[in-house]
Amino acid sequence: MKRTISSALVSILAAAQAVAQSSPGYTDTPMLPDGKWRVHDATRPHPPIVEPGPASGPAPAPKDAILLFDGSGLTEWRSNDNEAKWAVADGCMTVNGTGDIRTTREFGDCQLHIEWASPAKVEGESQGRGNSGVFFFERYEVQILDSFENVTYADGQAGSLYGQNPPLVNACRKPGEWQTYDIVFRAPRFGPEGGLQQPARVTLFHNGVLAHLDRPMWGATAHRSLPAYKAHAPKGPIKLQDHGNPVRFRNVWIRELELSGTPAVPSATPVAVEAKKTMDQTIAELMAKPEVADDSITVQHVLISFQGAPRMTNVTRSKDEAKELTERVWAKALTASDFKGLMAAYSNDTGPGEYPMTKATRSQMVKAFGDVGFRLKVGEMGVAPWDASASPFGWHIIKRIK
């Protein structure tokens, strides 16, 4: 009897442990711009497993391809500004702890074929097993990982756009077997002032199975934080990651493309920097409107303050950082239904955050509450930018609720 109880207990403990291990990831990271999942969300579902066909020999390169690695040497690669030092033997190059390598040439839109194999000897788990990655422009990562019977957070598994979107499928072969990525990368487009015009987009076939179709990226790859765009040149190197695991590569070739004529991504996908334009436009358009006739309104707000603003002793971000954060939170507010959740997560207002006012009492409030609030219909939102007199505490994202 005693043995039965203790063995039952062992089973329960094992089951509990299995649950804990089955959902690596985070619950305290920021929400991604679509408002559905957090960065590396522990609860985000994993895509279905699709067993690909068997591995075959190296895929022959088309005539117009540039061979980036054909097994003979690392002439197309650099390690920072020095010679690349990954181990080359038997037609493949292997990560060996000497750091990331990047192409000496620079690429914009392109079709990349790359073959990789995670170590046959399984060591580590989750992100620690067979981790590497392909970084376009050295910043937009298509994750390489041994995701064969190795659970990690969904936006970090093999074929994920790391920290942003899981692949449509898990088409991983067994550790040690050769795998292929065929990637079409469309570079992001920036305007003359550095604003984002179109996000980067990725199509990926993993072992011949579709993993992403023209999927927009939200910005440069980040760990535990939100991706964002920063303008860069139209071409840049491609980087392969040394994540400390001896991942092998062979047969890497690339075709340069010019995809400027391809249609824009539907606007349903919010992008952090696009919000900048939207927010500034929103402010200008709102302030050009006349005030509403209603005498009494109630607003909620998210205050994003900065170090040095009156009474804000606990805020350490700079004014520039506050503006940037406001743009991101504004982008979330446009898609999230839970405004109070945004207030709880971001507002620096230590008060209730919800304020009734009438036309007679509005002068007792921060001026921007009235200026913005009395231009909104119930349910609408606006933004009051920092202003020394009208909005001295920082940026306010204001929603009229009554």
Answer whether 300's CB lies under 8 Å from 294's CB: no
Tokens 């442990």 found at: 17
Residue 239, helix vs strand vs coil: strand
Closest approach of Cβ 111 to Mg ion, in Å? 21
The helix (run of H) or strand (run of E) holding residue 321 is helix 319-335
Joined together, the tokens standing for residue 235 give 């071409």
What minimum distance in Å lies between the beta carbon of 34 and Mg ion? 22
Smallest distance, Å, CB 92 to Mg ion? 18
State phi, psi for 4 to the nearest 5 degrees. Answer: -60, -45
Q: Which C-beta is closer to Mg ion: that of 157 or that of 300?
A: 157
For residues 133 and 236, which CB has a smaller minimum distance to Mg ion in the complex?
133
Given the complex with Mg ion, which of 131 and 179 has the nearer CB atom? 131
Report which of 190, 122, 131 is spatially closest to residue 157, judged by C-alpha positions. Answer: 131
DSSP 106-172: -BSSEEEEEEEE--SS--S-GGGSS-EEEEETTTEEEEE---SS----GGGSTT-BTTTB--S-B--
User: At closest approach, how far in Å is the CB of 142 from Mg ion?
Assistant: 9
Least CB distance to Mg ion at residue 95 (A)? 11
Nearer to Mg ion, 143 or 305 (CB): 143
Q: Which C-beta is closer to Mg ion: that of 131 or that of 198?
A: 131
Closer to Mg ion by CB, 73 or 97: give it: 97
Helix or strand (DSSP H, E) at 212: strand 209-216
| Complex with Mg ion: residue 141 or 327, whichever CB lies closer | 141
In the complex with Mg ion, the residue whose CB is nearer, 133 or 159, is: 133
Residue nearest to Mg ion (CB): 133
Residues in contact with Mg ion by the rule CB under 5 A:
131, 133, 143, 241
Least distance (Å) from Mg ion to the CB of residue 141? Answer: 6
Query: Strand order in 395-400's β-sheet?
Result: 354-358, 296-304, 395-400, 381-384
Minimum separation from the CB atom of position 37 to Mg ion (A): 19
> What would the DSSP string read from start to end of 21-67?
HH--SBSSSPBPTTSS-BTTBTTSPPPPB-PPPPP-SPPPPPTTPEE
Cβ pair 218, 101 in contact under 8 A: no
CB of 155 to Mg ion, least distance (A): 12
